[in-house]
Chains A and B, each alone.
Chain A
């Protein structure tokens, strides 16, 4: 039922060129009572959020049990999830094209993507932690918390790129994911920054003697 409400919401927006003004209107086209609606969602905002969140959670669930996915490196995991997520967005491309335009200013957009952000973090943070424990990526204490943010921003960037992409079969988006995720993971992984810190620590310890 939840999914039905969400897909009706998307349809309504596309048909009317604006979001339903109230729950009543959406329920009308769903032929559902408002009481029933509130069993699933507390407000229209929550429905809107679910459009993206549901898709992300589907992707995450699909891979959670996948043995092969489990054996991937963290970079491969991120790439795979990006590919799968963007693929699943195809079904609602016209809705997203409209939605991203409908968000008049950056703050609207940030608000609109908040739900996706939390869902993304809920999936990716544990993955990064595991990778950090196994030594695949360095533990940079406080700074490590930024990794998930960086990856989230990357996902938003990829979505923007994809919405503007006019190449056949969105080939350029695939290339964009490949390159941007790898670049972000280069920052997340062991790199010059760690050596810089290590060197800094060494110098400070030297002075303390």
Chain B
């Protein structure tokens, strides 16, 4: 059971106050940090981050829906956030304050046209889990346990205003002026609005689970369009544990490798064959089973990768293309890492940094098998930190990076860190797709 929150901030003003509260507190934490530092130099920056994360989390956790989603989004982009932020935000992925029983019934009735009590043999009005824009209820029909996902009423309307309020906080965190971030926010906004459309989610869930049904060890719930609507989504209840609980039970490395392999294959198949990926790889969406199989739920956030972007971004992961300077130039300009107006020093510096990063990220693909360790992830962090020190990255004169990269990166960071959490050693052959990319660039 999840505690019912005493009071939900209602008005926009009140919600804004909440976030401003966080802003003020962060300021306070920095003051505290500097005050403590002057007295005790051992006071770590890590602790400061922890204090900040706690305050931001507290503020965000009282918001529902899209603000929570933004928190999730930021929390997944581990490369941009210190670890302390990430750990706190990971919490927000699990729980949000629930809707009352009558509202759940009401929303279901309005949307499906019948009361949940008549549709199902049994329906629990207490929610079992909170999703960020809705909540999940357990139901039973003809002996089958079902999961009924119900959306908070009016969530679509509040997303845009929520985002507007999160913007300043996010901008402060990334150190970028609002205007520069516009196209990225737009991408997030689009995705968030898509997530409120359960009809679309149903379609995609069915499509992807069909396309990926041949991948070993991955399984999906069955969906029930007849009881679903734009606000209600009904599927089989999947048993299984979230990654953290799964790991706490000390599964053998063999089982861990098996789940890791399943996830790895699942993502690479989606990306390189379907050009569309389940872009919400947060721990709540995977249900691990003791035998090494993984259930995947929640296709609310699917990033469709434009072909054009695909053929300009992923070739950088292939060493033989990465060593071809004219092609690399073309690629980096196309994905907006470099601009024609950049000075040659800036160009050289950015290109070097970016290629170093991609060669690090593509290391798993360069051998038949790869062992994902925490050291590997730390190396990525360190490289990210190093790149961040480049003046043009730290204080950019213009936004860099395609907006399409946002969800793709987030997804792969998520997968990499899951792989490391599993300490997985898996087959990472890339010949299935790298050949396609090499061919594409051969005659250009």
Contact = CB atoms under 8 A, between A and B. Distances in A.
The range of chain B's interface size is 10 to 19
25 contacts: A72-B101, A75-B100, A76-B101, A76-B102, A79-B101, A79-B103, A80-B102, A80-B106, A83-B102, A83-B106, A167-B154, A169-B110, A171-B153, A171-B157, A172-B153, A172-B154, A174-B107, A174-B154, A175-B154, A177-B103, A178-B100, A178-B103, A182-B8, A183-B7, A186-B6
A76 B157 CA distance: 25
A46 interface: no
A186 B7 contact: yes
Interface string A63-94: 00000100010011001100100000000000
B152 interface: yes
Interface in B58-103: 99-103
Contacts of A174: 103, 106-107, 110, 153-154
Given A72-B101, A178-B99, A167 B107 contact: no
Interface of B: 6-8, 10, 99-103, 105-107, 110, 117, 152-154, 157
A83 B157 CA distance: 20
B68 to A, nearest CB: 16
Contacts, number: 48
Interface string A168-209: 010110110111001100100000000000000000000000
A179 B106 contact: no
Instruction: Give me the 10 closest cross-chain CB pairs, A-B, nearest first.
Output: A79-B102, A171-B154, A174-B153, A171-B153, A80-B102, A83-B106, A172-B154, A178-B103, A175-B154, A175-B153
A79 B106 CA distance: 10
A191 to B, nearest CB: 10
Contacts of A80: 102, 105-106
B10 A179 contact: yes
Contacts of B8: 179, 182
A182 B100 CA distance: 9
B100 A79 contact: yes
Contacts of B101: 72, 76, 79
Nearest to B10: A179
A182 B107 CA distance: 17
A182 B103 CA distance: 11
Contacts of A175: 152-154
A175 B64 CA distance: 12
A100 B216 CA distance: 63
A68 B153 CA distance: 23
